[in-house]
Structure 1
């Protein structure tokens, strides 16, 4: 089941067809182009999610590994159809085209395996299903040269025939050259050359010598002055050459028939491969479009929540890029060169968004952006927006944008709009689908403003009652006022810069807008008398409302500017905070190093002194000194050493709360022996109620003798020794590893062991500090992480926590 984007010409209205035109540019073959032509939208969460994830995987493969090799892909469907007929023979050129396509599955599979991209599961399944045709490719390339000639090695018979042909041609040439050199024929020969007519070797003879030359006429020149004659002495040789040439052609046809038969045997698999290659071409085009647009995979939901962050109309991206290139070439900045991103939200708080603002302020672009990005996402295309953007699965998308006045059908602008809206409402009324998106540009326009406003209010009310996601644009003040009174509706406006009299193209949700016509006219120099008359015609109440809206917009702009300034100040503060933290860490590390160095030096001095005393004592002993004096000397030295390097204070045992909830079958850690055992029985009346089996030994313990309980459900398949390793690792493994400054091999060895230890310790995530540098150590670490079966994800740390110098690793739970 698919969305109906063609209903009411929505595909053309939202310029979805132009996105297809751009997508076609990224395809490698007609096969991919055909897939783009058939591109449509899906309306189930699973189908859309699968297509988006597949696009993400192909994009990742292209960025990391250089993409799917599809050079040489072409549509060989007609050749396959011809080959399906028994006795059919493909030409050498057609077989070469078959070979070019047949090479691709092996190339793709080898590259995918070489790059070790097992985490790309969806793409891997497609590539694994590709049949390979190595034997067929080998046979074709062995028999046919890249230029399309059937080679001598194609068969022993062909090699033999061609050797015979060479020999016959040589004999003929020798014979004819002898005739040309002979004095007997010197006057008869028009020109001393060997040529051919009717596939037979001949020599040119003068017209008046024809009767005297012993040979067969095979042709005559245009002027009639020359006859091309085959000497009788080489007639049999020419006959033999003709027979050998026909034998050569028969053998070539036999070889081509054999190759075509080989293809026919693989025909079913080849058609499957061609279909998969077409899909890969299509997927690669989608990935390249995503890269070119800097697009992202949106989140999906079935709750009807639409939240686009920094969304950009893709066609505007291409247009502004072309403008920028043209401006750079001509040094002319007349046209915009950057797209202003838009944030749009429609969801739980409100389902209807009414956008107001001046003409050319970007209202219609917002409508088209929302509609087009919704269609793109449901077609499996990434959208040009920021990460975190979210879209629902719409089952119907309707759009009435632009002036569809039709003279032939006698339809005015108003009639055209109402006809389309009527069809939309009838479809919504009769359809039982869940989520619908309606986009209406200038609702109620084209008729009397009072009646148009009333119709607009009624239409919005009808759509709101049916929980339809609706975004409309208008200039009618009464519509803004009505929207303000409704719980499920919200006003929005396009921001306007009064200092430059230009729109900023930023959408402000929650703030109604003004058309600003009189204010703009005043700034542009319209006479004051006309402006005053216009204000009088408009009325003071309306002017007060317009002024209030303008003031609200200015206040909102000021608040936005202050908020951005605060954000920047906060960012700078965080940078300074991190800088000072690094300085403190560096100072503490240097202080610790200096202290350790001092202690080592003092210890070395004392040790040297000790050795000196030992020597003195040896001398004293030889002189019969008392033992008391010797002990006293040693005692003084040891005291001095202890003062310089005191023993570290003993660690205080951690106090833990006694465990009271234990069940039979649970595994517990016995504090005294630091071992895990299984509870086999519980005697509640006893002072030592727990009976625990440790290995082959049974122990009776009280609750205060254990400090960790792992329920039976979690531990029944885990050996006690594994639990002991995990417990010990958990207490000794830190959540951060620093290998900054190490050589690649040394860093990888340390990181590899650390990852195993961290996983055994049960850590969910860790940080690896590798530094930025030239990137060799960082790249090696990332390859190690990609190959580690326990790692589910890894990425750079946030900018204020180390950025590209730190990798955050997440483990599988």
Structure 2
């Protein structure tokens, strides 16, 4: 970017505002050197930096940058062997402390998305030891402390002793010889303690005269009695200075040893302060982060000129670079054309400098290689150039450099010469710049250019609105509508006779009248469209709110439904748990009955009734679900294998009582059950010669062996427990548990379970023909 464009668009004023928002001299230095970048990646990085700082500013959190100064000159002097002053050493310590506070502040924001700031503070070296060394020697006022060294403490003790003795002697003299003194005080001349002696008593006092009053009536004399003490005091003061210089030299060397770390800290702190200065400026301007592109596309909603107070400026919508690459703005003087032109140019420079722009969120800005502007009257008396010549000199220079990566701003293009020639020249210049695919925004007074946008591709007309009723511009930019002449309306409002106005209208050409009529129609259409848009926007907002309310109610309904389902599931689970407990009780009762020699009929009847009553009372929904899964309304026949769902036991159909009830054999019991509680496992097999254990003549179908290989330990023991119950119901005398060899853990678990079970008489490893140690053979009592 050339200096001329920065001056014309008043970029310097933006830098001055940025400077006032920097907290340190480091940040102010970077603000003063701010310039737009032409690299997209760099601009995107700068905008991201500003956005991170703006995020913290929006949280109303102030970053602690106090005490940080530019110590680079001091570091350079210390590195070449120079001795730093106490103030310079103190600046180094304060900068170290400030850097550490900044680092701590950013690190404590760990819940925020701040990758750039986190990376920056990682580079800050705390250097606590160096800071402490300086603070142990120098106080906050820049004075070297007595504790800086043992020798300095001793010297200063002797200095105070000499001063006290001198004062005691001189004060004693003032009390005893006050008539010889102009004033009874002890003062200092040439770093020595003296008394104000009257001229006539000079001989009586004796000693060394160091000064006299302007009248010569008072001599400031050092009495002989304190000369030696003053000499000793001077000698101690000289030693003190030598020791202070030695201490400062030692501190300077210590600082020099950390030159690289300190310099790196300063660079990081400068960048952080600069980031927050940009963020604070954006907050004051109510600015937004723009999305950057290198396609020449600009879109700003409610954009404002950055240098006009917010309560005075009129915001406007601006878009260029997609459907059209050029805008020709027409309208009256003082209507805001030049302000709009400068606003677009200045916002572009700000965006390319990493600054946020005063517009609504969602704005988009382009990175241009060059921004050119021909704005204002730059007539040069020295070069003997007229206004027109000055403009043309600038335009010629622009045309020689412009390309597709340029933004060109023309203010009153073609002015300063014959209107007809100026208009033709303006159109030709626009054609040339537009043909190079540059982004062009031009303002003009020429009526010929009002139709320019209709005859050219990639060009659109625009105007600044004028209120004929108030005879004042509204400063609103109307894209797509050229400006029309308001001379007749203004003259009428100001009182010009109607017949004069009508005569003037008769002198206007037909073409001009048609254009004005067309423009008036366009303005009306534009205003109507804006009103329709506002109404549609309000309806859209209401619809979105209604949609949000419906979605909220639907979510609440879903949650309520889930809660009801959950309650139903809990109820079903409790019922099933109760059924399992009752079934377990029934099985235990049956086991006890088996041990009896004779079974009483009422005990069988009671057991069957308990089994029937064990069916859980499920909710309708769950019961229907169970019925759907378990009852296909298939007709069951005697001999079919079934599962009694209420006790989870397999059995066989004995006979069909009716369509809803069957008599089934479960173990040693015959039970009448409902069809809904039966699940068909398989039809009666006509030719099934597979051997099935039938010990004691039982028809209960269960194998005489259980294969647990591949099962997890806990799952295997659960299956074993279920299997033992099944074989006991079937009346087996023994069974084989296949567990494999493996680690032996499962074999051990099976054998320990067998030892604890009351109905298992013994458990042994299988013989060679039974599977060996991979099988445990269980015998029942």
TM-score scaled to structure 1, two decimals? 0.67
Question: Structure 2 CA distance, aligned partners of 1:216 and 1:382?
Answer: 73
Partner residue of 2:590? none
The total of aligned residue pairs comes to: 622
1:114 Cα deviation after fit = 2.8
1:310 Cα deviation after fit = 3.1
From 323, 344, 349, the equivalent of 2:319 is 344
Partner residue of 1:411? 385
1:394 Cα deviation after fit = 1.5
1:67 Cα deviation after fit = 5.0
1:33 and 2:28 equivalent?
yes
Partner residue of 1:320? 310
> Residues 650 and 540 from structure 1, CA distance in 2 versus in 1: closer, same or farther, beyond 3 angstroms?
farther
Partner residue of 1:530? 500
Aligned residue for 2:83, secondary structure, equals coil
Partner residue of 1:334? none
CA contact (8 A) 2:404 2:438 kept: no
1:54 and 2:30 equivalent?
no
Aligned residue for 2:530, secondary structure, equals helix
CA contact (8 A) 1:603 1:641 kept: no
CA contact (8 A) 1:118 1:124 kept: no
CA contact (8 A) 1:394 1:436 kept: yes
Partner residue of 2:238? 246
Question: Structure 2 CA distance, aligned partners of 1:228 and 1:301?
Answer: 80
Question: Structure 2 CA distance, aligned partners of 1:646 and 1:500?
Answer: 78
Partner residue of 2:674? none
> Residues 581 and 115 from structure 1, CA distance in 2 versus in 1: closer, same or farther, beyond 3 angstroms?
closer
Question: Structure 1 CA distance, aligned partners of 2:453 and 2:23?
Answer: 50
1:507 and 2:477 equivalent?
yes
Partner residue of 2:396? 422
Aligned residue for 2:358, secondary structure, equals coil
Partner residue of 2:776? none
Q: C-alpha offsets along residues 199-223 of structure 1, whole Å, 9 cap, x if unaligned?
A: 3334455555544446555555555
CA contact (8 A) 1:312 1:342 kept: no
> Residues 524 and 562 from structure 1, CA distance in 2 versus in 1: closer, same or farther, beyond 3 angstroms?
farther
Partner residue of 2:292? 300
Question: Structure 1 CA distance, aligned partners of 2:627 and 2:339?
Answer: 68
The higher radius of gyration belongs to: 2
Partner residue of 2:448? 478
Alignment of 1:555-704 (within 5 A): 555-583=525-553, 585-586=555-556, 626-627=602-603, 630=606, 641-642=617-618, 646-647=622-623, 649=625
> Residues 221 and 507 from structure 1, CA distance in 2 versus in 1: closer, same or farther, beyond 3 angstroms?
closer
From 59, 83, 86, the equivalent of 1:89 is 83
The farther-off stretch of 511-520 and 159-168 is 511-520
CA contact (8 A) 1:495 1:553 kept: no
CA contact (8 A) 1:354 1:473 kept: yes
CA contact (8 A) 1:51 1:379 kept: yes
Question: Structure 1 CA distance, aligned partners of 2:627 and 2:419?
Answer: 84
The farther-off stretch of 367-376 and 643-652 is 643-652
Partner residue of 1:73? 68
Partner residue of 2:40? 45
> Residues 634 and 530 from structure 1, CA distance in 2 versus in 1: closer, same or farther, beyond 3 angstroms?
farther
From 108, 116, 136, the equivalent of 2:130 is 136
Question: Structure 2 CA distance, aligned partners of 1:595 and 1:481?
Answer: 71
State the Cα RMSD in Å. Answer: 4.2
Partner residue of 1:733? none
Partner residue of 1:363? 337
> Residues 164 and 367 from structure 1, CA distance in 2 versus in 1: closer, same or farther, beyond 3 angstroms?
same
Partner residue of 1:115? 109
Question: Structure 1 CA distance, aligned partners of 2:627 and 2:610?
Answer: 29
> Residues 498 and 560 from structure 1, CA distance in 2 versus in 1: closer, same or farther, beyond 3 angstroms?
farther
Question: Structure 1 CA distance, aligned partners of 2:248 and 2:488?
Answer: 81
Q: C-alpha offsets along residues 702-758 of structure 1, whole Å, 9 cap, x if unaligned?
A: xxxxxxxxxxxxxxxxxxxxxxxxxxxxxxxxxxxxxxxxxxxxxxxxxxxxxxxxx
Question: Structure 1 CA distance, aligned partners of 2:605 and 2:76?
Answer: 111
> Residues 424 and 44 from structure 1, CA distance in 2 versus in 1: closer, same or farther, beyond 3 angstroms?
same
Partner residue of 1:454? 424
1:476 Cα deviation after fit = 3.1
CA contact (8 A) 2:299 2:320 kept: yes
> Residues 586 and 170 from structure 1, CA distance in 2 versus in 1: closer, same or farther, beyond 3 angstroms?
same
From 308, 325, 328, the equivalent of 1:354 is 328
Partner residue of 1:256? 248
Question: Structure 2 CA distance, aligned partners of 1:206 and 1:356?
Answer: 90
CA contact (8 A) 1:359 1:515 kept: no
From 543, 551, 571, the equivalent of 2:521 is 551
Question: Structure 2 CA distance, aligned partners of 1:521 and 1:631?
Answer: 114
Aligned residue for 1:641, secondary structure, equals coil
Partner residue of 2:756? none
Question: Structure 1 CA distance, aligned partners of 2:179 and 2:454?
Answer: 113
1:161 Cα deviation after fit = 0.8
Q: C-alpha offsets along residues 184-213 of structure 1, whole Å, 9 cap, x if unaligned?
A: x57656655444444333445555554444
CA contact (8 A) 2:139 2:145 kept: yes
Question: Structure 1 CA distance, aligned partners of 2:337 and 2:180?
Answer: 93
Unaligned runs of 5+ residues in structure 2 are 582-599, 630-709, 712-781
Question: Structure 2 CA distance, aligned partners of 1:650 and 1:399?
Answer: 82
1:566 Cα deviation after fit = 1.8
Aligned residue for 1:320, secondary structure, equals coil
1:19 Cα deviation after fit = 1.5
From 260, 267, 272, the equivalent of 1:280 is 272
> Residues 312 and 5 from structure 1, CA distance in 2 versus in 1: closer, same or farther, beyond 3 angstroms?
farther
Question: Structure 2 CA distance, aligned partners of 1:506 and 1:23?
Answer: 28
1:268 Cα deviation after fit = 4.9
Aligned residue for 1:565, secondary structure, equals helix
1:387 and 2:361 equivalent?
yes
CA contact (8 A) 2:575 2:616 kept: no
Question: Structure 1 CA distance, aligned partners of 2:487 and 2:64?
Answer: 57
Aligned residue for 1:314, secondary structure, equals coil
1:156 Cα deviation after fit = 0.5
Aligned residue for 1:165, secondary structure, equals helix
> Residues 590 and 499 from structure 1, CA distance in 2 versus in 1: closer, same or farther, beyond 3 angstroms?
farther
Partner residue of 2:2? 5
Aligned residue for 1:43, secondary structure, equals coil
Partner residue of 1:722? none
From 89, 99, 106, the equivalent of 1:105 is 99
1:637 Cα deviation after fit = 6.2
1:263 Cα deviation after fit = 3.1
> Residues 527 and 403 from structure 1, CA distance in 2 versus in 1: closer, same or farther, beyond 3 angstroms?
farther
Question: Structure 2 CA distance, aligned partners of 1:648 and 1:146?
Answer: 85
1:522 Cα deviation after fit = 2.9
1:378 Cα deviation after fit = 1.8
> Residues 476 and 107 from structure 1, CA distance in 2 versus in 1: closer, same or farther, beyond 3 angstroms?
same
Q: C-alpha offsets along residues 405-434 of structure 1, whole Å, 9 cap, x if unaligned?
A: 444544333332222212211233xxxx64
Alignment of 1:716-731 (within 5 A): none
Partner residue of 1:786? none
Partner residue of 1:711? none
Question: Structure 1 CA distance, aligned partners of 2:93 and 2:562?
Answer: 69
1:170 and 2:129 equivalent?
no
Unaligned runs of 5+ residues in structure 1 are 322-336, 612-623, 654-695, 698-813
1:288 Cα deviation after fit = 1.6
Moved over 6 A (4+): 594-608, 650-653
Question: Structure 1 CA distance, aligned partners of 2:483 and 2:440?
Answer: 18
Alignment of 1:182-221 (within 5 A): 192-205=184-197, 207-213=199-205, 215-221=207-213
Aligned residue for 1:315, secondary structure, equals coil
The farther-off stretch of 154-163 and 35-44 is 35-44
Partner residue of 2:459? 489
1:567 Cα deviation after fit = 1.8
1:229 Cα deviation after fit = 4.6
Aligned residue for 2:37, secondary structure, equals coil
1:466 Cα deviation after fit = 1.7
The farther-off stretch of 399-408 and 594-603 is 594-603
